[in-house]
Amino acid sequence: MRNTIPVAVLAGAALFASVPARAQGKLNVVTTTEDLASIAREVGGDHITVESIAKGFQDPHFVEAKPSFILKLQKADVLIAVGRELEIGWLPPLIQQSRNARIQVGAQGYLDASLGATILEIPNGNITRAMGDVHPLGNPHYWMDPENGKRIGKEIADKLSELRSGDSAFFQQQLTSFTTRLDTAEKRWLAQMAPYKGTKMVTYHRSFPNFAERFGLDIVGYVEPRPGIPPTPQHTLDLINEMKRQNVKLVLVEPYFDMKTPMAIGRDTGAQVLVMPPSVGGTKDVPDYFKLFDSDINLLIDAIKKSGAK
Amino acid sequence: MTTWRARFFSTVVPTMLCLGLIAAAPARGQGLGGAGTVQQDSAQALRQDIDQLRREFDALKQQYGDRLTALEAKLAATEGAAAPAAPPPPGQPATAPVPAGAESGTAAPVYGASISNAKVFNPDMAVIGDFLGAAGTNKVQPDPFGPGTHPNALQLHESEAAFQAVVDPYARADFFISFGEEGVSVEEGFITLTSLPGGLLTKVGKMRAAFGKVNSLHNHVLPWADRPLVIGNLVGGEDGINDAGVSVARLIPNPWMFLEATGQVFRGDSGADPNGNPLFQTTRRSELSYVTHLRGYQDITDNANIDLGFSYSRGHNGLSNGNLADPGSLVTQLYGIDATYRWKPLQRSIYHSFVGRTEWIWSRRDQPTGLQSGAGMYVSGDYQVGRRWFTGVRLDRSAHANDASLVDTGGSFVITYWPSEFSQVRAQYRRTNYATGPSLVSSANELLFQFQFSIGAHGAHPF
Ligand SMILES: [Zn+2]
């Protein structure tokens, strides 16, 4: 019986902890990826500070839950996650150990950026791990579509406005500016890509379905036999045959994957093998969300021209 | 939903387009009936109109598509129902099929919406199976994986069921039920209060104590099939310091590094050495055991980091100094130092990594015959050769807790293969030199085999 008293005291203290007592300084925003950080920077301007946990050249499924990230999260006012279980292997322990009531899942300072976005590949049948490390809530690489960029921007602007109602007009104005610039850029990107509509390609992981849908590309296969499962000789052979049959001349590889199998496929099929970052910060040429598409589209068009495919 | 969307584009939109053309036609028609060039001009203008309309239609289609998406998202969010799906994307390849039923959908449901509503609040569940095998002979410890004398050549050593969920905005709960050959036990079961003031992370329940590194880890995240000699001899074996109590951990603010101090109070019953002597055992309520741990962590670069720990533990060992009024008056104290160096290149993190680790432990055990001061340690290195392959070495050395003059030594080579993130196969060659008496040594050469697999929720990767 004696032991229940401290527990009751602790529980009581827990209730008090939920009352926020923060000065109205700059909002400290932590994002899981550099893509979200870039969009948050556009929307939050100089009224927020932004830091990303993962680097753009890292595989976002496999980030290590380092204690140094706990320190970042401890001080965060807002945590913005990609969601759709992209970060399931590493974000929950970080949030749990952050000792920060503001950013716990479901708290006001936690934002799942996927809630307004168009999500592809949502499985609606029975899914099992025989399909590999499938994302049961749909493909989480949804930021690779500028339309989703706008939706993410809106989610972030709304969240920032909610937390800093005094700055709400500023955030909404920043959002309008971001959306307008993104609209203009998107028209340019669509025009650049228009001649290459229907180009067939293969990608390493399923990182580009939203990109392909927006810009009319046709992804006919993957270097991975199943999501998260490394290439097998049999699958690679099947893929090469399928590429030859359909005359596919392009292989896209995310910067964090081994080049051995893609290069072998390239040699066998005569396809161009292109390292194309799916994230801001993936290479030094893509420091922000706009440059990500600028650079990727230029890389892609160059590679399509070189490959001789349409 | 598929049919609704399909119907929208196949009937509603074309109807609207036709209406648009009809509306446009009379306006153009007024210009007809002039000279031939005028007719030609009109034809051209009509064609331009059609092109214009087609563009507008495409834009409209896009707009409606986007609005539909948003509406579907709202619908899914409010209903929390099964996610709707749209027609699959074109040209799905024969070589890399979309998982059965995985179609291109556009709704954005809330978490858990893809499963049925009632299951949303069920905890995340997973079961991890740990199958072990052993070859070779071991006269000193016939059971290759723990105390006891049965020569278990093959065993489903442990099946661990994990149940984890958020309790409320202030807490989460974790239960790990272990089904072993001897029966069922709660390996851990605790609530974590995540939002206490003063940055206190508090756990209440039964838990593995924060003494060093290995003691706090479950079997399935260890880089070996067994546990180091020193853990068996001095820190209570496979179960280790694992008891009911309260744990409070606080970050110590400083400008240099991650520094965390943990204080834990337990009932006082934990572990057993290979001979079955308990590490901690209570004979009265006041005989609590304590663990304190100080952890310092620092990134050296983006690719490398160092983790240091100092641990202390104290508890009654169940032995008596002969005073019948106080049957459990004697105490065991443990001191530990652990150090871990990790290297993992960020851009190739899924292919290569290295973890070097060592723990040094000193035991001071009060016995009716006097104080026994023994020490032990292990050093290990694990290198990830490729995406699925790991190799490791470990050197062991440890005194016996109840007779510090007897020192066991050993060494292991380990190879681990990961077919996927959810299963692993491991082979370990282990040589142990047991001190069985003053200058008496009995050596054992064993080949250990381990097959581990997990089903259910995707757990966090250990760090
Ligand atoms: Zn993925």
Mean pLDDT confidence for B400-423: 94
Residue B27 contacts by C-beta under 8 Å, 6 or more apart in sequence?
Answer: none
pLDDT in tens, A119-178: 999 887 777 777 777 778 899 999 999 999 999 999 999 999 999 999 999 999 999 999
Distance of CA B252 to the CA centre of its chain: 25
B57 pLDDT tier (thresholds 50, 70, 90): low
d(CA A113, CA A150): 11
Given pLDDT bands bounded at 50, 70 and 90, which one contains residue B35?
very low
Its CATH architecture, for the domain B131-156+190-456, is Beta Barrel (2.40)
The H or E element spanning position B170 is none
Rounded distance between C-alpha atoms, residue B404 and residue A83, angstroms = 53
Contact assessment for residue B345 and residue B317, using Cβ atoms and an 8 Å cutoff: no
pLDDT, tens digit (0-9, with 9 covering 90-100), for A233-269: 999 999 999 999 999 999 999 999 999 999 999 999 9
User: Closest residue of B to A6, CA-based?
Assistant: B246
Residue B94: pLDDT over 50: no
Q: Helices in A103-167 by DSSP H: which ranges?
A: 146-163
Contact B460 A90 (CB under 8 A): yes
Would the pLDDT of B107 be above 60? no
B258 contact residues in A (CB cutoff 8 A): 67-68, 70-71
B window 16-55, beta carbon within 8 A of A: none
pLDDT tens-digit series, residues B139-161: 888 887 776 667 778 888 889 99
Q: What is the mean pLDDT of residues B225-229?
A: 94
| Amino acid letter for position B273 | D
Q: What is the pLDDT of residue B23?
A: 40
Q: How big is the CA angle at B367 (ends B361 and B373), to the nearest 5 degrees?
A: 30
Could you say which residues from 380 to 439 on chain B have a Cβ atom under 8 Å away from some Cβ of chain A? Answer: 387-388, 420-422
- Find residue B455's DSSP bridge partners: B127
Q: Are the CB atoms for B84 and B76 separated by under 8 Å?
A: yes
Q: What is the mean pLDDT of chain B?
A: 80
In angstroms, the CA A118 to CA A149 distance is: 10
**Nearest partner of B162 among B186, B127, B134, judged by Cα:** B127
Query: What average pLDDT does range B196-215 have in this prediction?
Result: 93
- pLDDT score for B66: 60
Is residue B195 predicted with pLDDT exceeding 50? yes
Please give the backbone phi and psi of residue B223, each rounded to the nearest 5 degrees, phi first.
Answer: -80, 10
pLDDT of res. A109: 96
Judge whether A16 and B198 are in contact, CB under 8 Å. Answer: no
Q: Do A118 and B108 touch (CB under 8 A)?
A: yes
Q: Work out the average pLDDT over B437-451.
A: 93
> What's B102's DSSP letter?
B
Residue A37's contacts (CB-CB under 8 Å, 6 or more residues apart) are A29, A31, A50, A51, A52, A280
Among candidates B83, B99, B104 on the partner chain, residue whose Cβ is nearest the Cβ of A131: B99
**From the centroid of its chain, how far is CA B162?**
10
Give the Cα separation of A70 and A269 in Å (integer): 46
B46 phi, psi to nearest 5 deg: -60, -45
How far off is chain A from B411, nearest CA to CA, in Å?
A: 29
Q: What's the rounded mean pLDDT across residues B100-123? A: 46
Cross-chain residue pair B260–A131, CB shorter than 8 Å? no
Q: pLDDT tens digits, residue range B324-380?
A: 777 778 999 999 999 999 999 999 999 999 999 999 999 999 999 999 999 999 999
The pLDDT of residue B68 is 60
Q: Going along B122-225, which residue ranges are E strands?
A: 124-137, 154-168, 171-180, 183-193, 200-208
B272 pLDDT more than 80:
yes
Place of tokens 């052979």: A237
Which residues in chain B (174-193) have CB-CB distances under 8 A to chain A?
A: 192-193
Which CATH number among 3.90.1520.10, 3.40.50.1980, 3.40.50.720, 3.40.50.300 corresponds to the domain A4-187?
3.40.50.1980
Report pLDDT for B72: 58
Comparison of pLDDT for B57 and B429, the residue scoring more:
B429
**Looking at residue B301, what is its pLDDT?**
95
Question: How far apart (Å, rounded) are the C-alpha atoms in residues A223 and A240?
Answer: 10
Q: Would you kindly state where each structural domain of chain B is located, as residue ranges? A: 2-79, 131-156+190-456
pLDDT for the residue B100: 35
pLDDT digits (tens, 9 = 90+) for A13-39: 443 443 444 446 899 999 999 999 999
Which among B68, B195, B221 is the top mutation candidate for probing chain A, defined by the most A β-carbons within 10 Å of its own β-carbon?
B195
- ipTM for this model: 0.85
Query: How far is residue B430 from each of residues B134, B228, B419, B446, measured CA to CA in Å?
Result: 10, 11, 24, 5
Cα of B441 vs centre of ligand 1, distance in Å, is 54
Which span out of A250-254, B22-26, B29-33, B268-272 was modeled with the highest average pLDDT? A250-254
Domain boundaries, given as residue ranges, for chain A: 4-187, 190-307
Q: How confident is the model at residue B119 (pLDDT cuts 50, 70, 90)?
A: low
Q: Which residues of B, range 252-271, sit inside 8 Å of A by Cβ?
A: 258, 260
- Judge whether B271 and B280 are in contact, CB under 8 Å: yes
Domain A190-307 has CATH 3.40.50.1980: yes
